[in-house]
């Protein structure tokens, strides 16, 4: 039973997307429907205005075509006007008036006294109607042979409005249908887009149950880096497990023989423990201690752990202070080319192993000075350790750090320091380079790549 408190699950990505996309889709369709009504009304008014203007021009043309001197010229054109006109009209010329419906003369006559011209909205209550009718009218003024001419052509706006509203209603129904279709498409798109997350969850479950060893990397670009990082983490864990198994096997094999030898010496009651035997026992115990020390160092240098960071400046100063006491006759200097509070993505124990082994090796061989430099660039973090010792021949530089190989036996040690450094650097996918230092000794340079 887990003692860790259960964290409250956050809102799912699917819910978040739907909560944002669906209201915006509804608002978009609503705005489109309102704009459709505005544009439809404007187009209707422009269309009616053009029709009314054309009919007013037709009436004016016929009046101008009537021969001069005919006193009843308006009455003469009444039948032709009614035959050609589809609207209500009122005409006034030289004091004479003509109406499309003579019975409506009382209602239409005030239109001729209007002072405004152009497109107008007029209201009047026609005979036999209980409510006023609204007309969209076009009023034009001109003159014929010096006589004032007024023409008003109108169309029942309520009929137009009813047709416009019916069309707008049908548009609303179509908009609702499109909105429902859009909602379905949004839901389907979100579902299909998030399908890789479901597959990833199933793969992680299979991974936990042992059904697979790695995650598929054939995923969308947004998830590819994530699966690669998870697979790299699995590779690291496998490497640690394999290394742990190898270390335990090696340790078991290494200490088995010395323990057996000591057991045999101590169990032999016929032979007393003299000085020579005591020396042999001490030697075997030292050998066991050496093997345990090697195993512990190897286990500590286990490689990167996700989410761990270390401050290289603080750890370098602590290491220089400690080794400065061990090699009191030598001077240790630190060159910092990074921010003092800069963190590197490396475990503290691994960084201590790198700094400790490199500086300790330099301290053993330096004549008087050890220089440690911390720096970084856009590609990697770098540690440089240089001494002013005797150095290493160029042909032997590649052999440095080989486990079990020591190039010189004059200085005490087991020859494991640089080997541990090389193995630790390899687990971080870094590089370890040796060269001649500017002081004449050895320069060790470690570069650990930045994780993108």
Question: 96 pLDDT exceeds 90?
Answer: no
Tokens representing 92 are 């006034």
- What does the pLDDT read at residue 223? 74
- For 49, 186, 371, 385, 386, the CA distances from 335, given in Å and listed in that order, are 87, 58, 7, 10, 11
Tokens representing 236 are 């690291």
Question: 258 pLDDT exceeds 70?
Answer: no
pLDDT digits over 43-94, tens only?
888 888 888 888 888 888 877 776 544 444 454 455 555 544 567 888 888 7
Listed in sequence order, the DSSP H helices in 97-220 are: 105-112, 157-193, 195-209
Could you give the count of Cα atoms lying within 13 Å of 304 in the half-sphere of its Cβ? 22
Q: Is 35 helix (H, G, I), strand (E, B) or coil?
A: helix
How many C-beta atoms lie closer than 10 Å to residue 25's C-beta?
16
- What does the pLDDT read at residue 72? 43
The reported pTM is 0.41
Question: 198 pLDDT exceeds 50?
Answer: yes
Question: 315 pLDDT exceeds 80?
Answer: yes
Tokens representing 295 are 């195993």
Residue with structure tokens 């088995």? 256
Contact 382, 446 (CB under 8 A): yes
55-64, 132-141, 183-192, 298-307: range with lowest mean pLDDT: 298-307
Residue 382: phi, psi to the nearest 5?
A: -135, 140
List 356's β-bridge partners, or say none. Answer: none
Question: 402 pLDDT exceeds 80?
Answer: no
Question: 409 pLDDT exceeds 50?
Answer: no
- What does the pLDDT read at residue 85? 55
Mean pLDDT of the chain: 77
DSSP class of 128: T
- What does the pLDDT read at residue 179? 82
Q: Which candidate, 319, 366, 297, 310, places its Cα nearest to that of 338?
A: 310
Question: 2 pLDDT exceeds 80?
Answer: no
Contact 91, 69 (CB under 8 A): no
Tokens representing 177 are 């249908």
How many C-beta atoms lie closer than 10 Å to residue 428's C-beta?
21
- What does the pLDDT read at residue 69? 47
Tell me the CA end-to-end span of the chain in Å, nearest whole number: 37
20-24, 188-192, 306-310: range with lowest mean pLDDT: 306-310
Average of pLDDT values for 155-175? 80
Question: 415 pLDDT exceeds 70?
Answer: no
DSSP class of 8: P
Contact 297, 353 (CB under 8 A): yes
Question: 39 pLDDT exceeds 50?
Answer: yes
**How much of the chain exceeds pLDDT 90, in percent?**
12
Give Cα 275 distance to the centre of its chain. 74
- pLDDT band of residue 224 (cuts 50, 70, 90) is confident
Task: Look at 3 and 220; give whichever has higher pLDDT.
Answer: 220
4-13, 180-189, 412-421: range with lowest mean pLDDT: 4-13
pLDDT digits over 316-333, tens only?
998 888 888 778 899 999
Question: 31 pLDDT exceeds 70?
Answer: yes
Question: 3 pLDDT exceeds 70?
Answer: no
Average of pLDDT values for 358-372? 91
- What does the pLDDT read at residue 130? 74
- Which residues in 51-61 are b (16+ Cβ under 10 Å) and which e? bbeebbebbbe
Pairing of strands 147-156, 88-93: antiparallel
- What does the pLDDT read at residue 1? 40
- What does the pLDDT read at residue 414? 39
Question: 412 pLDDT exceeds 50?
Answer: no
- What does the pLDDT read at residue 370? 93
Average of pLDDT values for 427-435? 89
Tokens representing 365 are 């061989």
228-237, 269-278, 382-391: range with lowest mean pLDDT: 269-278
Question: 371 pLDDT exceeds 50?
Answer: yes
**How much of the chain exceeds pLDDT 70, in percent?**
78
In angstroms, the CA 350 to CA 297 distance is: 10
Average of pLDDT values for 383-411? 72
pLDDT digits over 103-147, tens only?
787 778 888 888 888 888 887 877 777 778 778 888 888 888 778
Give the number of residues written for the chain: 452
Q: For residue 38, give every residue at least 6 positions away whose Cβ sits within 8 Å of its Cβ, in sequence order, or none.
A: none
Question: 174 pLDDT exceeds 50?
Answer: yes
- What does the pLDDT read at residue 357? 87
């Amino acid at each position: 039973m887990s003692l860790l408190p259960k964290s409250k699950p956050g809102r799912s990505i699917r819910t978040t997307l739907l909560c944002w996309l669906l209201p915006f889709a509804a608002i978009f369709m609503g705005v489109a429907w309102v704009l459709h009504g505005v544009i439809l009304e404007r187009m209707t008014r422009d269309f009616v205005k053009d029709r009314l203007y054309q009919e007013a021009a037709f009436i004016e043309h016929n009046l101008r075509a009537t021969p001069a001197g005919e006193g009843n010229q308006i009455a003469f054109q009444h039948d032709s006007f009614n035959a050609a006109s589809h609207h209500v009209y009122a005409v006034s010329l030289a004091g004479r008036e003509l109406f499309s419906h003579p019975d409506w003369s009382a209602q239409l006559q005030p239109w001729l006294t209007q002072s405004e011209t152009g497109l107008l909205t007029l209201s009047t209550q026609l005979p036999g109607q209980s409510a006023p009718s609204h007309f969209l009218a076009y009023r034009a003024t001109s003159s014929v042979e010096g006589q004032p001419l007024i023409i008003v052509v109108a169309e029942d706006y309520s009929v137009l409005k009813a047709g416009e509203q019916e069309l707008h209603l049908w548009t609303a129904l179509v908009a609702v249908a499109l909105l429902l279709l859009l909602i379905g498409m949004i839901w389907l798109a979100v579902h299909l887009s998030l399908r890789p997350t479901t597959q990833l969850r199933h793969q992680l479950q299979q991974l936990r149950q042992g059904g697979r060893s790695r995650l598929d990397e054939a995923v969308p670009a947004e998830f590819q880096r994530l699966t690669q990082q998870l697979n790299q983490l699995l590779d690291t864990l496998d490497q640690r497990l394999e290394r742990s198994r190898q270390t335990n096997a090696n340790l078991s094999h290494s200490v088995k023989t010395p323990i057996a030898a000591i057991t045999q010496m101590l169990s032999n009651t016929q032979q007393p423990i003299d000085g020579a035997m005591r020396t042999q026992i001490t030697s075997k115990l030292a050998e066991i201690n050496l093997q345990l020390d090697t195993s512990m160092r190897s286990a500590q240098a286990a490689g990167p752990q996700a989410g761990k960071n270390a401050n290289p400046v603080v750890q370098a100063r602590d290491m220089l202070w400690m080794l400065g006491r061990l090699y009191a006759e030598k001077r240790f200097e630190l060159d910092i080319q990074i921010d003092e509070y800069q963190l590197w993505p490396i475990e503290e124990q691994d960084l201590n192993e790198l700094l400790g082994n490199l500086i300790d090796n330099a301290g053993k061989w330096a004549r008087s000075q050890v220089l440690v430099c911390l720096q970084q660039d856009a590609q990697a973090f770098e540690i440089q350790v240089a001494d002013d010792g005797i150095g290493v021949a160029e042909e032997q530089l590649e052999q440095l750090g080989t486990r079990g190989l020591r190039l010189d036996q004059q200085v005490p040690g087991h020859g494991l320091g640089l080997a541990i450094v090389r193995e630790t650097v390899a687990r971080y996918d870094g590089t370890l380079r040796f060269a001649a230092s500017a002081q004449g000794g050895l320069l060790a340079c470690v570069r650990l790549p930045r994780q993108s």
